[in-house]
């Protein structure tokens, strides 16, 4: 049957990947991920029913979240590890069934989903996965309902990713776990209704806001609130390790284990904001940031003369030239790449010591990070005065996921075209399109404010809400324009959060999601004014009007 996947922005010709994904996953990996998602839906069906009867099992909750994050774009490409997860999820589903049946007693109701047992070998699992994909459901339910199912599923995947980030630091939300099960149980129904799916999508946005708030608490309680910090973007002479992804815990443990070993640690991609956290920036060998966004990693990792650690999502197919010195951790996996277990980074350290390192220092050029909500709100009075005086005319939030598709130069050109009496808020890896440009300041306020990772979208919301309260309006009444680039499912979760807050007139690009059908788009346009990006000149004129 082959594969079909359209969960990210960079699908083949914008129509879905059918032979191999632009992300790098093959049909085998895609099929196993589809089967893992189906198994998670089965688990959640029973966990949701048990939860309504007052019975919960945290192991089931965590298994579901790990499985959801595993199927996010650019996380796990390893069929062997996926096979293990599918088989474990089948066992967890039986545990969930038993939990529900024990709680319900004689009132237990059989699941309307067809029962299945994992096949005995990998080839059999792949065949089972081929019957669990989105193409099969589209034939049965039609594109509109299936698209809404996928919108909800991708939102849940993105929210689960944020929940997993928080869990790693010891923070969990039982209500979020309950919603994951409720949403997936509904996705698994035979006859889901479009209006009910839309309502669940908006609820997903609300839950995602709570989860991002929890993650913000986890980060700031553990590492302190980010503070404005200049970050070196050229290397220092010596041995080196590059850390990419999103996981601050992995970075912290690596910094502890490399202390005093003469190895400089550099961030890459979404790890850049780590430099703003007091508990991380205290390590003198956290030397700077190397490179840019995730999609440029092949060239950048090839040129990096040290070891590389990939945490969470964003991995691409490694080149043979650096495959021996790249490592994965957490849920990330690629066939043939060594995986770090139990936060023991000694193999990474050994690889860095064996590599040549940088032969000389680069320039001392820096960029500024660390404008989380506490840092920005600490100078809110100055910002408000600048707006009232007319010195600061408008805010542009230009951020989100970066990618390789043609057309993303729009975001660079827009940032460059924003008038000098306007400020730019940015976050996530989309900022690498323009964060090394010089924007100057407005009365001492930097015109470019880097809020952080995609994980830090909560900070952007907090800043917007605080400013709205200060001006006695809602967010839609602020001199604020939102121009969002999207790539994968965490961006979908953030978009659902913005919609759930009633925020209107968001521009989204470089293309609209394929799973959002014309009729669904019509609803979003009518209710929220969501629109695709156009030309920089036309869009800027409209936003400034």
> What residue ranges do the domains of the chain occupy?
12-222, 229-354, 371-544
**Whether the predicted pLDDT of 185 surpasses 90:** yes
Mean pLDDT of the chain: 96
Considering the domain delimited by 229-354, tell me its CATH architecture.
3-Layer(aba) Sandwich (3.40)
**Whether the predicted pLDDT of 34 surpasses 80:** yes
**Whether the predicted pLDDT of 1 surpasses 60:** no
As a whole-number percent, the residues of the chain with pLDDT over 90 amount to 94
The angle that helices 143-168 and 174-187 make with each other, rounded to 10 degrees, is 160
Mean pLDDT of 322-334: 97
Lowest mean pLDDT among 278-282, 292-296, 347-351, 404-408: 404-408
Rg of the chain (C-alpha set): 23
Per-residue model confidence (pLDDT) at position 538: 98
| Tokens read off for 431 | 């900022």
Lowest mean pLDDT among 38-52, 103-117, 153-167, 408-422: 103-117
Per-residue model confidence (pLDDT) at position 14: 77
Contact (CB, 8 A) for 496 and 153: no
pLDDT category of residue 113 using cuts at 50, 70 and 90 = confident
Fold of 371-544: Rossmann fold (3.40.50)
Q: How far apart are CA 330 and CA 332, in angstroms?
A: 6
Same CATH topology for 229-354 and 371-544: the answer is: yes
pLDDT category of residue 114 using cuts at 50, 70 and 90 = confident
Nearest of 449, 453, 427, 433 to residue 271 by alpha carbon: 453
Lowest mean pLDDT among 129-133, 334-338, 413-417: 129-133
Contact (CB, 8 A) for 298 and 316: yes
Q: How far apart are CA 496 and CA 457, in angstroms?
A: 12
**Whether the predicted pLDDT of 196 surpasses 80:** yes
Q: How far apart are CA 437 and CA 447, in angstroms?
A: 11
Mean pLDDT of 148-176: 98
CATH number assigned to the domain covering 12-222 = 1.20.1270.20
Mean pLDDT of 282-310: 97
**Whether the predicted pLDDT of 24 surpasses 80:** yes
Contact (CB, 8 A) for 270 and 294: yes
**Helix (H) and strand (E) counts in the chain:** 19, 16
pTM to 2 decimals? Answer: 0.96
pLDDT category of residue 455 using cuts at 50, 70 and 90 = confident
């Amino acid at each position: 049957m082959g594969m079909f996947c359209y969960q990210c922005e960079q699908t083949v010709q914008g129509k879905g990947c059918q032979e191999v994904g632009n992300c790098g996953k093959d049909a085998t990996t895609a099929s196993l991920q589809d089967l893992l998602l189906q198994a998670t839906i089965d688990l959640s069906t029973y966990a949701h029913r048990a939860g309504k009867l007052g019975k919960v099992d945290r192991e089931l909750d965590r298994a579901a979240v790990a499985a959801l994050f595993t199927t996010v774009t650019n996380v796990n490409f390893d069929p062997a590890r996926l096979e293990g997860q599918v088989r474990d999820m089948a066992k967890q589903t039986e545990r969930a069934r038993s939990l529900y049946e024990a709680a319900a007693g004689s009132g237990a109701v059989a699941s309307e989903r067809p029962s299945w047992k994992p096949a005995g070998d990998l080839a059999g699992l792949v065949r089972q996965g081929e019957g669990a994909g989105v193409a099969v459901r589209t034939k049965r339910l039609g594109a509109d309902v299936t698209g809404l199912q996928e919108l909800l599923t991708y939102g849940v995947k993105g929210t689960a990713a944020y929940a997993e980030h928080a869990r790693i630091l010891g923070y969990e939300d039982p209500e979020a776990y309950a919603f994951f099960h409720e949403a997936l149980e509904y996705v698994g129904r035979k006859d889901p209704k479009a209006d009910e799916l839309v309502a669940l999508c908006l609820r997903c946005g609300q839950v995602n806001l709570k989860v991002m708030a929890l993650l913000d608490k986890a980060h700031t309680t553990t590492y302190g609130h980010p503070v404005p910090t200049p970050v070196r973007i050229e290397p220092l002479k010596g041995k080196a390790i590059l850390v990419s992804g999103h996981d601050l815990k992995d970075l912290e443990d690596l910094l502890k284990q490399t202390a005093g070993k003469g190895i400089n640690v550099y961030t890459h991609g979404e790890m850049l904001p780590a430099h703003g956290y007091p508990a991380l920036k205290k390590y003198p060998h956290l030397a700077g940031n190397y490179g840019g966004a995730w999609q440029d990693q092949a060239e950048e990792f090839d040129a990096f003369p040290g070891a590389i650690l990939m945490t969470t999502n964003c991995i691409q197919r490694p080149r043979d030239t650096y495959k021996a010195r790249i490592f994965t951790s957490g849920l990330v996996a690629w066939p043939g790449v060594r995986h770090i277990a139990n936060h023991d980074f000694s193999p990474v350290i050994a690889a860095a010591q064996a590599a040549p390192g940088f032969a000389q220092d680069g320039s001392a050029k820096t960029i500024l990070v660390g404008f989380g909500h506490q840092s920005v709100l600490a100078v809110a009075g100055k910002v408000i005065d600048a707006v009232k005086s007319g010195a600061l005319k408008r805010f542009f939030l230009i951020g989100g996921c970066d990618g390789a598709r043609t057309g993303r130069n729009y975001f660079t050109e827009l940032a460059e075209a924003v008038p000098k009496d306007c400020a730019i808020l940015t976050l996530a890896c989309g900022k690498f399109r323009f964060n090394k440009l010089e924007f100057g300041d407005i009365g001492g306020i930097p015109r470019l404010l880097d809020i952080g990772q995609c994980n830090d979208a909560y900070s952007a919301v907090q800043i917007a809400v605080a400013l709205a309260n200060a001006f006695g309006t809602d967010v839609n009444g602020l001199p604020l324009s939102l121009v969002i680039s999207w790539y994968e499912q965490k961006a979908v979760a953030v978009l659902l959060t913005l919609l759930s807050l009633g925020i209107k007139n968001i521009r989204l690009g470089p293309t609209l999601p394929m799973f959002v059908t014309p009729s669904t788009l019509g609803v979003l346009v009518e209710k929220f004014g969501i629109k695709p990006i156009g030309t920089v000149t036309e869009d800027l004129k409209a936003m400034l009007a």
